[in-house]
């Protein structure tokens, strides 16, 4: 019966989203058939379009994994956006300070530094939560603004390219770039890094004693404290890992796409990662699937806008509605199934 209820719930969600999509497309005066066909063509109609889904999914997988690790331990990380920027700062500083490093060493150190920079940025609210009981939600949100404006200061002062009038760093050396996977598309090796991170997170969270403790703390920290499980240590550790994974996402945006530090390197990936984590039910495999789905929604919506004149903001409405329906699925559709059984 549980499987039947879940299947019915997901079918109902799909039907509701389809209905809302049709109504929104009609509301903006576009042709429904043309809109949906252009949506699918944008994703599957060309090799480049499909590769863009993977490119956009890469930072969402990494940041979504970070958010999921935090959620599993009861650390509500809303600061992945700022942690992405800290990872971008890390690879920029490394590339400009040591341009002569060989590519393998440069990329490896960049990933490590991005993990450390993002992790430290997240540990601050983690310590405040574990030690003093201060809400990590407020702290991580405020740290986002600090990180974004820190990048703004750096690209106008110490890291500014003196040969260019706009606020941005110099181009990083070629050694600080991820290898291309499918030229001439933008797909880079960061996607493989994201998949490897998903495997590593799965092993850590579900196959190690540390992961068991982290999940137990997330379920009931007081019971863990009584049982002798170190609550403080696990919250801080999960905060560090959570921010570190988001930091690697920032490294990938520089090493794989921009190759220099600029403002606005993340179009809200850190916030979308929260949605990805929720849709993926905080499971690494679910996060990967959700990231690919959200990325496909964005790529397809851009194609709809070009071909059918449908605003891309509709994709955001659909994504927000999806999250609400997923969160309310058991309450809404569970009671529906119960009513059907009673009748």
The per-residue pLDDT for range 163-190, each reduced to its tens digit, is 888 999 999 999 999 999 988 899 999 9
Rounded mean pLDDT of 262-268? 91
The model's confidence at residue 334, banded by pLDDT at 50, 70 and 90, is low
Classify 46 as helix, strand or coil: coil
Taking CA atoms, 297 is separated from 145, 313, 330, in Å, by 27, 11, 24
Say whether pLDDT at 335 is over 90.
no
Report whether 22 contacts 317 (CB < 8 A): no
The model's confidence at residue 329, banded by pLDDT at 50, 70 and 90, is confident
Classify 252 as helix, strand or coil: helix
pLDDT tens column, 48-88: 889 999 999 999 999 999 999 999 999 999 999 999 999 99
Rounded mean pLDDT of 131-146? 93
Nearest to 76 by CA among 123, 135, 124, 131: 135
The pLDDT of residue 45 is: 84
* Class of residue 320 by CB neighbours under 10 A (exposed 0-12, middle 13-18, buried 19+): exposed
Say whether pLDDT at 337 is over 50.
no
What is the spatial distance between Cα 238 and Cα 241, in angstroms, rounded to a whole number? 5
Kindly report the CATH number that applies to the domain delimited by 29-310: 1.10.3470
The pLDDT of residue 339 is: 47
The pLDDT of residue 312 is: 82
Say whether pLDDT at 327 is over 80.
no
Burial 66-77, CB ≥16 within 10 A → b, else e: bbbbbbbbbbbb
What is the spatial distance between Cα 331 and Cα 337, in angstroms, rounded to a whole number? 10
The string of DSSP codes covering 215-246 is HHHHH-HHHHHHHT--HHHHHHHHHHHHHHHH
Rounded mean pLDDT of 79-102? 96
The model's confidence at residue 199, banded by pLDDT at 50, 70 and 90, is very high
State percent of the chain over pLDDT 70.
Answer: 94
Say whether pLDDT at 340 is over 50.
no
Q: Which residues pair with 188 in a beta bridge?
A: 180
What is the spatial distance between Cα 89 and Cα 261, in angstroms, rounded to a whole number? 7
The pLDDT of residue 2 is: 62
Say whether pLDDT at 160 is over 70.
yes
The pLDDT of residue 30 is: 84
Q: Provide the 10 A C-beta neighbour count for residue 100.
A: 7
The pLDDT of residue 326 is: 80
Rounded mean pLDDT of 139-151? 96
Report whether 172 contacts 182 (CB < 8 A): no
Helices 231-253 and 80-97 cross at an angle (nearest 10°) of 60
The model's confidence at residue 257, banded by pLDDT at 50, 70 and 90, is very high
Average pLDDT, the chain: 91
Domain residue ranges of the chain, discontinuous segments joined by + = 29-310
* Most distant CA atoms of the chain, gap in Å: 75
Q: Provide the 10 A C-beta neighbour count for residue 233.
A: 14
């Amino acid at each position: 019966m549980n499987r039947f209820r879940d299947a019915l719930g997901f079918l109902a969600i799909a039907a509701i989203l389809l209905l809302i999509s049709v109504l929104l497309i009609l509301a903006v005066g576009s042709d429904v058939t043309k809109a949906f066909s252009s949506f699918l063509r944008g994703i599957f109609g060309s090799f480049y379009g499909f590769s863009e889904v993977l490119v956009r999914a890469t930072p969402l997988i990494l940041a979504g994994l970070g958010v999921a690790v935090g959620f599993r331990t009861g650390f509500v990380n809303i600061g992945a956006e700022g942690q992405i920027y800290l990872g971008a700062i890390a690879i920029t500083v490394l590339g400009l300070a040591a341009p002569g490093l060989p590519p393998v060493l440069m990329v490896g150190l960049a990933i490590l530094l991005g993990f450390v920079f993002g992790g430290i940025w997240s540990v601050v609210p983690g310590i405040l939560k574990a030690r003093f009981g201060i809400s990590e939600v407020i702290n991580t949100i405020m740290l986002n603004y600090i990180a974004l404006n820190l990048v703004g200061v750096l690209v106008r002062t110490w890291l500014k390219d003196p040969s260019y009038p706009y606020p941005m760093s110099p181009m990083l050396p070629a050694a600080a770039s991820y290898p291309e996977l499918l030229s001439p598309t933008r797909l880079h090796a960061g996607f493989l890094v994201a998949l490897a991170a998903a495997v590593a997170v799965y092993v850590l969270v579900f196959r190690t004693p540390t992961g068991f403790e982290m999940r137990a703390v997330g379920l009931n920290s007081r019971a863990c404290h009584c049982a002798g499980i170190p609550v403080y240590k696990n919250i801080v550790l999960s905060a560090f890992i959570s921010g570190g994974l988001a930091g690697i996402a920032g490294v990938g945006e520089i090493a794989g796409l921009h190759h220099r530090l600029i403002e606005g390197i993340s179009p809200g990936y850190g916030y979308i990662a929260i949605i990805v984590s929720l849709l993926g039910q905080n499971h690494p495999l679910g996060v990967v699937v959700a990231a690919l789905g959200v990325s496909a929604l964005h790529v397809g919506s851009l194609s709809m806008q070009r071909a059918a004149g449908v605003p891309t903001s509709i994709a955001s409405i659909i994504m927000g509605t999806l999250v609400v329906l997923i969160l309310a699925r058991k309450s809404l559709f569970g009671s529906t199934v119960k009513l059907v059984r009673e009748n």
